[in-house]
Amino acid sequence: MRGNAWVRKSYEQQLLIEQINNDRLQTELRFLKAQYHPHFLFNALNTVYFQMDDDVPQAKHTITALSDLLRYQLYDRQQTVPLHKELQHLEAYIGLQRQRMNEHLQLEVTFSDQLSDQQIYPLLLLPLVENAFKYAGGDYWIRIHATLQDDTLVFTAVNAKPPVATVTKDGGIGLENLRRRLELLYPGRHSLQTDDQPASYSVTLNIRL
């Protein structure tokens, strides 16, 4: 009887430890995800501010687009979404950024038609696109591509750099947070590589779906 009681107590303690660890990880995931919002909001609101002087209807359109983007960011925080929804969100975000960027920006965006109903955790791709827009300079171009290779999503964001580089060695806090989220959500099923060249900076994310 004492042996059975000890086994039962040990099992209950193990369940408690696992629950605590799970709660801690969920809290950390929510925290890491929330850290993307301030920079995103700052840029979008800045766009609306300048549009109010020149084009009020366009400013209203931007606010509507921003509302849709925020609604997506609050949707199913820890649940997967179809990949095409994640890509639609990125296209909407890129549309907002295009409005505030210099007209000389050369922007190339291609998403493979094969990327459709595969499931992915949301907002993993946004930090890569944010960084590309944030640090673009020099020849002033950005290239964003997403393809499917076997069962793996391959997402690449490359931007031209200004003469004096402003990207940190590890890509800043956005990429640090992304690395941590990937470790929690896709352990052993992802890779994130950066390539810092004199005139360009690229980051490639592979996720086995």
Q: What is the pTM of this model?
A: 0.76
- Least Cα distance to 133 among 46, 74, 13 occurs for 46
pLDDT, tens only, 74-96: 765 568 999 999 999 999 889 88
Question: Of residues 172 and 113, which shows the higher confidence score?
Answer: 113
- Within 8 A by CB and 6+ apart from 147, the residues are 112, 114, 115, 153, 154
Average pLDDT, the chain: 81
How is the chain split into domains, by residue range?
Answer: 35-208
pLDDT value, residue 112: 96
Superfamily of structural domain 35-208: Histidine kinase-like ATPase, C-terminal domain (3.30.565.10)
Instruction: Work out the average pLDDT over 24-45.
Output: 62
pLDDT value, residue 192: 96
Helix (H, G, I), strand (E, B) or coil at 136: coil
Q: Is pLDDT of 3 > 80?
A: no
Instruction: In whole angstroms, give the CA distance from residue 33 to residue 174.
Output: 10
pLDDT value, residue 82: 94
Q: Is pLDDT of 62 > 60?
A: yes
Task: Place 141 in a pLDDT band, splitting at 50, 70 and 90.
Answer: very high
Q: Report whether 67 contacts 103 (CB < 8 A).
A: no
Instruction: Work out the average pLDDT over 158-183.
Output: 76
Instruction: Work out the average pLDDT over 170-188.
Output: 82
Q: Determine the residue type at 100.
A: R
Question: Of residues 179 and 25, which shows the higher confidence score?
Answer: 179
Instruction: Work out the average pLDDT over 142-155.
Output: 97
Q: Is pLDDT of 22 > 60?
A: no
Instruction: In whole angstroms, give the CA distance from residue 89 to residue 115.
Output: 14
